[in-house]
Amino acid sequence: GDSVTQMEGPVTLSEEAFLTINCTYTATGYPSLFWYVQYPGEGLQLLLKATKADDKGSNKGFEATYRKETTSFHLEKGSVQVSDSAVYFCALSDQGNAGKSTFGDGTTLTVKP
Amino acid sequence: DTAVSQTPKYLVTQMGNDKSIKCEQNLGHDTMYWYKQDSKKFLKIMFSYNNKELIINETVPNRFSPKSPDKAHLNLHINSLELGDSAVYFCASSQGGRAGELFFGEGSRLTVL
């Protein structure tokens, strides 16, 4: 079945540091890939997505590229802010699997001033 | 306007009680979901309905019963609550046939004493 493996946390960075959160996946079909962010006390919200190989999703300074050859979708940001502190979830959606989304375990990011 | 709204946001109850959580979406989506998030932030899908028809029913105790009176509403009823049911329950919606992007509610935190 489908699965998503993401970097274990927690991750603690200083403001303006570079962020990478690794994410790899296994899927039987051709999934769409997503990063969701969950701020404290809130629901998940879509951060960015990519629907086919080599697509790059970007939003709020975050980027991730759909790499089919390495089955990866790593999240990056060049300079993090305190307001980026949140839990980040990598996910895939496989339309051949009733559109079911599969989530990674989440990575908690804390950015210190 | 809140796109996906859940009530109540907080629910504290005794073991053995029965409780319900309601969810409504005003996005015009045809698919709705219930997810459970445990204390470690792990997300697990429970149910999915498409146009009021159950399409995903993961391994969940039959004490949990979803009901979808129409495609804009998906309620979750839980009988004979147990300590292990304590979690945050998220409702989500999506439009079938698209890239699988999910829109989440704010969550309902259930505490069973």
Mean pLDDT of chain A: 93
- A22 or B55: which leads in pLDDT: A22
**Pairing, β B87-94 against β B108-112:** antiparallel
The C-alpha of B22 sits at a distance from chain A's nearest C-alpha, in angstroms, of 15
Mean pLDDT of B15-41: 95
Tell me: pLDDT of A96 over 70: no
Percent with pLDDT over 90 in chain A: 81
Q: pLDDT (tens digit, 9 = 90+) per residue, A16-25? A: 999 999 999 9
pLDDT band at B85 (very low <50, low <70, confident <90, very high): very high
pLDDT score, position B97: 52
Do A49 and B101 lie within an 8 Å CB cutoff? yes
Give the highest mean pLDDT range of A59-63, B29-33, B94-98: A59-63
Please name every residue paired with B61 in a beta bridge, in sequence order, or none if there are none: none
Tell me, yes or no, if B83 comes closer than 8 A to chain A by beta carbon.
no
B27 touches chain A (CB under 8 A): no
Contacts of A87 in chain B (CB under 8 A): 41
Mean pLDDT of chain B: 92
Burial group, residue B113, by CB count within 10 angstroms (0-12, 13-18, 19+):
exposed
**A106/B90 touch (CB, cutoff 8 Å), yes or no:** no
Distance between B32 CA and the closest CA of chain A, angstroms: 11
What average pLDDT does the segment A46-61 reach? 95
Residue B97 vs residue A14, higher pLDDT: A14
Give the model's confidence band at A1: pLDDT under 50 very low, under 70 low, under 90 confident, else very high: confident
pLDDT tens string B61-70: 999 999 999 9
- The stretch A80-98 carries a mean pLDDT of 88
The Cα–Cα gap between B65 and A31 comes to: 29
CB-nearest to A32 from B42, B96, B99 is: B99
Question: What pLDDT sits at residue A98?
Answer: 60
Looking at residue B96, what is its pLDDT?
73
Q: Which residues of B touch A38 (CB under 8 A)?
A: 41
What is the rounded average pLDDT of the residues A31-53? 94
